[in-house]
């Protein structure tokens, strides 16, 4: 089998292309959301949020547990939650794309891997269920052989199935 070599040629507007820079607002938002997401995931962020709620609770008696006192925490938490949803979603989207590209590279570079699973994230739920059935077949093949290190492809599972269904020459098909 011939080895294929791919040369990545940057697309206009791609971050890989030095001649065409990504829009500065997009780059700034990307950096900002990545930093905020990393900071929000640290234990200190949780401790800080807990302290804010604790201070708010302690100040309740001083403000007579008024509607304004309650509105402060409700508004603050709502605004922070609303903004964090978009910031975290942007980081998740970027990370998901990066992981998918890494997985696609691993699949594409492995000789025995099925290239049909590259970009399966674009399939419908029904199509994913059909694909899952193929992997159940592979699991069955591996269990039947009793060899932890054996490997089968989807194509191999199909071929085994066709051989089982198709009667061999000279034998009568029985039902």
Both 104 and 125 in one domain: the answer is no
* Cβ-based neighbours of 169, under 8 Å, separated by 6 or more: none
When divided into structural domains, the chain yields a total of 2
Across the chain, mean pLDDT equals: 79
Check if the beta carbon of residue 152 is closer than 8 Å to that of residue 138.
yes
Of 61, 91, 111, which residue is a domain's last?
111
| 40 falls within a domain | yes
pLDDT surpasses 50 at 1: no
* Domain, as residue range, for 153: 121-169
pLDDT surpasses 50 at 175: no
| 36 falls within a domain | yes
* CA-based nearest residue to 34, from 95, 102, 101: 95
Both 66 and 38 in one domain: the answer is yes
Both 32 and 61 in one domain: the answer is yes
Of 92, 111, 130, which residue is a domain's last?
111
Q: What's the pLDDT at 164?
A: 58
| 116 falls within a domain | no
Q: How confident is the model at residue 19 (pLDDT cuts 50, 70, 90)?
A: very low
CA distance 10 to 97: 17
- Which tens digits make up the pLDDT trace of 131-147? 888 888 877 777 777 76
| 175 falls within a domain | no
Both 107 and 158 in one domain: the answer is no
SS3 content of the chain, % helix, strand, coil (to 5): 70, 0, 30
- Which tens digits make up the pLDDT trace of 52-107? 999 999 999 999 999 999 999 999 999 999 999 999 999 999 999 899 889 888 88
Q: How confident is the model at residue 22 (pLDDT cuts 50, 70, 90)?
A: low
Of 111, 139, 157, which residue is a domain's last?
111
Q: How confident is the model at residue 171 (pLDDT cuts 50, 70, 90)?
A: low
Q: Considering only residues 150 and 173, tell me which one the structure prediction assigns the higher pLDDT.
A: 150
Both 127 and 105 in one domain: the answer is no
Q: What's the pLDDT at 7?
A: 47
Query: What pTM was computed for the model?
Result: 0.57
């Amino acid at each position: 089998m011939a080895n294929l070599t791919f040369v990545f040629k940057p697309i206009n507007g791609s971050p890989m292309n030095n001649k065409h820079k990504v829009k500065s607002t997009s780059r700034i938002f990307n950096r900002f959301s990545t930093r905020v997401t990393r900071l929000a995931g640290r234990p200190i962020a949780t401790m800080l949020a807990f302290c804010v709620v604790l201070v708010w609770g302690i100040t309740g008696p001083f403000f007579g547990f008024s509607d304004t006192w309650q509105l402060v925490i409700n508004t603050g938490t709502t605004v922070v939650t609303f903004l964090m949803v978009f910031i975290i979603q942007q980081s998740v989207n970027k990370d998901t794309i990066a992981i998918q590209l890494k997985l696609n590279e691993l699949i594409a570079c492995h000789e025995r891997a099925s290239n049909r699973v590259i970009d399966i994230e674009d399939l419908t739920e029904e199509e994913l269920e059909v694909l899952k059935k193929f992997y159940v077949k592979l699991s069955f093949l591996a269990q039947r052989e009793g060899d932890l290190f054996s490997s089968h492809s989807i194509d191999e599972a199909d071929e085994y199935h066709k051989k089982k269904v198709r009667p061999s020459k000279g034998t009568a098909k029985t039902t």
